[in-house]
Amino acid sequence: MAITGQYINLDGIKVYYETNNGPKNPLGTIVCLHTAGRDCRQYHGIMDIFADKYEVVAFDMPAHGKSWPLPGNKAIYDYRVYGQFCWRLVEALGIENPVFIGCSVGGNMMYHIAETYPIKAMVAMQASTYIKAMGTAYGTTVDLLDNPYVSCQHSHWDFSESLMGQKCPPEAHDFIMWGVCQECGRAKKGDLSIYNNFDVTGELDKITCPCLLIRGTDDWNVPDHYYETAIKGLVNAEKVYWEKVEG
């Protein structure tokens, strides 16, 4: 597999993205959104799997990984701005028929992006159409992520590890935890502020593309009822699949 990484200037921000240099498939190009606080390396496995079938593109959101932050060294705190940025990048790269994949905050964003932009299909993992935790005790912990007396990496170590299923291979476990070690508190705060102040349930009927919802059975953070709510609202989607993955 030959992964190519490069930069594109988008609205004055240097954005890092990678591609697997896969073939242009008329069924679409796979576009991947990383989890909260992380970067596009999470999708190297997907790039490998589809190397002979699809072009796969993954990128670091502003203030994440190798991408520059917003002016003033800021991250994105609004899901609408997040969605606009993703779509602007798709347009700038000339991607046609994008099939969006996302997990965590990227998974939540699948619903908003599918409601708002003409995508070919979407895959949402560990995703919810609504989570309103900001303003609660948990929301306070999110606010502390950019506090100089709080270590973002250490404060999220056990939490991140708890989200891995029992079938997670040791090498994947090590890679995930190394990523936790590299997280930026300001970027993570932006992502979790979006994740925990999110509700697009009332607009799910705008989604018409095929939707694949994936839940790991060991995932305690996003239980079944979030997926059930999504499925009830996806009344106009071409197809809806809900896949439960053991572990």
How crowded is residue 74: how many other Cβ atoms within 10 Å of its Cβ? Answer: 13
- Going across the sheet that includes 211-216, the strands are 4-10, 13-19, 56-59, 29-33, 98-103, 121-125, 211-216, 240-245
Q: How far apart are CA 63 and CA 179, in angstroms?
A: 15
Pairing label, strands 56-59, 29-33: parallel
Per-residue confidence (pLDDT) for residue 158, from 0 to 100:
92
Per-residue confidence (pLDDT) for residue 134, from 0 to 100:
65
Element (H, E) at 139: helix 137-143
Per-residue confidence (pLDDT) for residue 84, from 0 to 100:
98
CA-based radius of gyration for the chain: 17
Per-residue pLDDT tens, the chain, 247 aa: give them: 589 999 999 999 999 999 999 999 999 999 999 999 999 999 999 999 999 999 999 999 999 999 999 999 999 999 999 999 999 999 999 999 999 999 999 999 999 999 999 999 999 999 999 987 766 777 788 888 988 899 998 888 998 999 999 999 999 999 999 999 999 999 999 999 999 889 999 999 999 999 999 999 999 999 999 999 999 999 999 999 999 999 8
Name 53's Cβ contacts closer than 8 Å, sequence gap at least 6. 22, 23, 25
Q: How far apart are CA 180 and CA 157, in angstroms?
A: 7
Per-residue confidence (pLDDT) for residue 131, from 0 to 100:
87
pTM: predicted TM-score of the whole model, two decimal places: 0.95
Per-residue confidence (pLDDT) for residue 142, from 0 to 100:
87
Q: How far apart are CA 5 and CA 58, in angstroms?
A: 9
